[in-house]
A and B are shown apart, each in its own frame.
Chain A
């Protein structure tokens, strides 16, 4: 079966670094997405990885290892506005997205 696993909740301190992990099992693979979702709002796109390695985009970076079925989202210099849920989604061979349940990130001052 197809599955995405990510932690339910994480807590971090303002100004620190946090890494949110995601493991995936999909039928075929056409990329791994990360979305940010603030409470009660729509998900917004953060990153897309299809090749192994690290993609850096400002304070946010995303890493992919296809051989391990593993990705992480790295958030640096955390700000209070980063408090949100982070959704990991894998795209299968039919280009359908398989979504994880999301990781709720709580930032403390």
Chain B
């Protein structure tokens, strides 16, 4: 089954404790992206990657890091989480925008609470 998986689905942590949210896709997609979703603000892109070892900042990259060592995986790293990073996070993947269908497939989401 074609899918994007994220782990963990729910996480409660404390300020300053480093965490990683994993994302994996099995569709051989080149493009992967991380979003955060907050009430009334819609989806905001954090980072994206066009291919292995190629990552770029989105609209709200401060406080986050990503890596793309393998095509299927795109982990999101919060080195020192703060309460304003409490949010619902989605990973998404697609073919390279403009070269395919452009439809993004989303993971199930990770609800993060930073105390």
- B106–A43 contact, CB under 8 A? yes
Contacts A96-B45, A97-B45, A99-B43 hold; do A44 and B106 have CB atoms under 8 A apart? yes
> Cβ of A100: which chain B residues have Cβ within 8 Å of it?
42
A84 contacts B by Cβ under 8 Å: no
User: Total interface residues on A, using CB and 8 Å?
Assistant: 22
Chain B hits for A97, CB < 8 A: 43, 45, 104
Q: Does B12 contact A (CB under 8 A)?
A: no
Query: Which residues of A (48-104) have their CB < 8 Å from a CB of B?
Result: 48, 87, 89, 91, 95-97, 99-102
Interface size on B, residues (CB 8 A): 19
CB-CB nearest in chain B for A85: B42
Q: Which of B14-22, B64-72, B77-85, B95-103 lies at the interface? A: B95-103
Interface pair B41/A101, CB less than 8 Å apart: yes
Contacts of B106 in A (CB 8 A): 42-44
Known contacts A30-B98, A42-B90, A95-B98; decide if A101 and B104 are in contact (CB<8 Å): no
Do residues B45 and A41 form an inter-chain contact, with CB atoms below 8 A?
no
CB within 8 Å for A87 and B43 given contacts A42-B107, A43-B90: yes
Set of chain A residues within 8 Å of B104, measured between Cβ atoms:
43, 45, 97
Contact of B102 among A8, A31, A99, A101 (CB under 8 A): A31
Shortest CB–CB separation between residue A19 and chain B, in angstroms? 20
Q: Given the interface contacts A48-B103, A97-B104, A99-B43, does A41 sit within 8 Å of B98 by beta carbon?
A: no
| B109 lies within 8 A of chain A by Cβ | yes
Q: Is B61 an interface residue (CB 8 A)?
A: no
Bound Cα distance A2, B48 (Å): 19
Q: Say which residue of A30, A91, A101 sits within 8 Å of B42 (CB atoms).
A: A101
Q: How far is the CA of A41 from the CA of B109 in the complex (A)?
A: 7
Q: Is A109 an interface residue (CB 8 A)?
A: no
Q: Which residues of B contact A (CB under 8 A)?
A: 40-45, 48, 90, 97-98, 101-109
Could you tell me which A residues sit within 8 Å of B by CB distance?
4, 8, 30-31, 33, 40-45, 48, 87, 89, 91, 95-97, 99-102
